[in-house]
Structures are given as structure tokens and as C-alpha cells.
Amino acid sequence: MLILRIVPILLICLLGLGTIPVAASASDSAPAPQRLAYVDLQRALNEVAEGQRARQRLEREVERRQNELEREQRALQSFAEELEARIEMLNEQARMEQIQEYQQRAMALQQAFGNHQRELAEAEGRATHEIFERMVTIVREIAEERNYTMVIEKNEASVLYAVDGLEFTDELVRRYNSRHP
């Protein structure tokens, strides 16, 4: 009971103490003007030469692995068709062994597909992470040169509207390509 009475009193005291310095400091100086800008990092990634090369490497790897999976799937389908054609001729023991082999091969194919997806996502993450790190450095430089107080990444959820002249994605791409050809 005592704690329930003390907590509101403490909150009032803390909040009151917190507003005194703010009120005093707010009257001392005018707030600095805020300068905002935005950049579309996804577009920049797609447009910088290094990003295009990374995407091409990933696409070749996707195609290579997709071909492997399709080959394995055709082999599994062929095995299933052969098994279906001769299953009546097999004794119970052989039938069970063949069905078990089919199930194991199907599960292995499913695991290979999952591994393929995970490995490609990791490779894409590694490739884009390095590029994004370099982009952030350039974004900071541009922001400091132009005295921006905040730079927002443009995506579907973050920038719904902005006047012309606040985006500097083109400048980011130009500088990135000149430093990392």
C-alpha cells in the first residue's frame, strides 16, 4: 500500500525535476533548424557497378544450384516411376526397402532445397552487407557536406512524400562507383 502512494509522488518529483532544466535551456537558445534528406539504398545497390556484379554472381549461382536440384528431382521422379512399375513384382521386404529408399531420397532433396535457399540468402547478405557499409560511409560524408541533421532510407514504409531536392541517391551512386569501380 505504501509503495502505491510513494510511486506517484516519485514520478511527479522526477518529472518536475526533468522539466526545470529543459525549460531553462529552451529559453537560452533557439532550436537549430532541422535539415532532412533521404536516400534509396535499394536502388543504389541495384545501380552501383559492384552491386550489379554481385547480383550477376548470385544469379549464376542460383541457376547452377537450380539445375542441380532439377537433375536430382528428375532422378527421384524416374526412381518413383520405376518403383511404381515393378512394385507388384517385389516381395514385401524388397517393397518396404524401396519405399524407404524413395522416402529418404525425397527427404534429402527437400533438405538440399532448404540448404540451397539458406546458403543463397547468406551469400546475398554477405555481398550486400559490404556494399551497404561502404554506402553508409558515403551517405555520412554527403550529409556532413550538406549539413543534413538526418538522412532517412527511402522505402515503401518510410518516405511517403518529399519535395524535390531532398533525395541524393544519384550522388551516392556516382561517388560509390568512382571509389569502388
Question: If you average pLDDT over residues 163-174, what whole number do you get?
Answer: 89
CB 111 within 8 A of CB 145: no
pLDDT band at 28 (very low <50, low <70, confident <90, very high): low
E strand or H helix at 151, and its extent? strand 150-153
Q: Which residues contact 134 (CB under 8 A, 6 or more apart)?
A: 176, 179, 180
Question: If you average pLDDT over residues 133-162, what whole number do you get?
Answer: 89
pLDDT band at 159 (very low <50, low <70, confident <90, very high): confident
Burial of 64 per CB tally in 10 Å (0-12, 13-18, 19+): exposed
For cell 534429402, name the residue: 108
Q: Where are the beta strands (DSSP E) in the chain?
A: 36-39, 150-153
Q: What's residue 164's pLDDT?
A: 79
Spell out the domains of the chain, with CATH numbers in brackets: 27-179 (3.30.910.20)
CB 134 within 8 A of CB 97: no
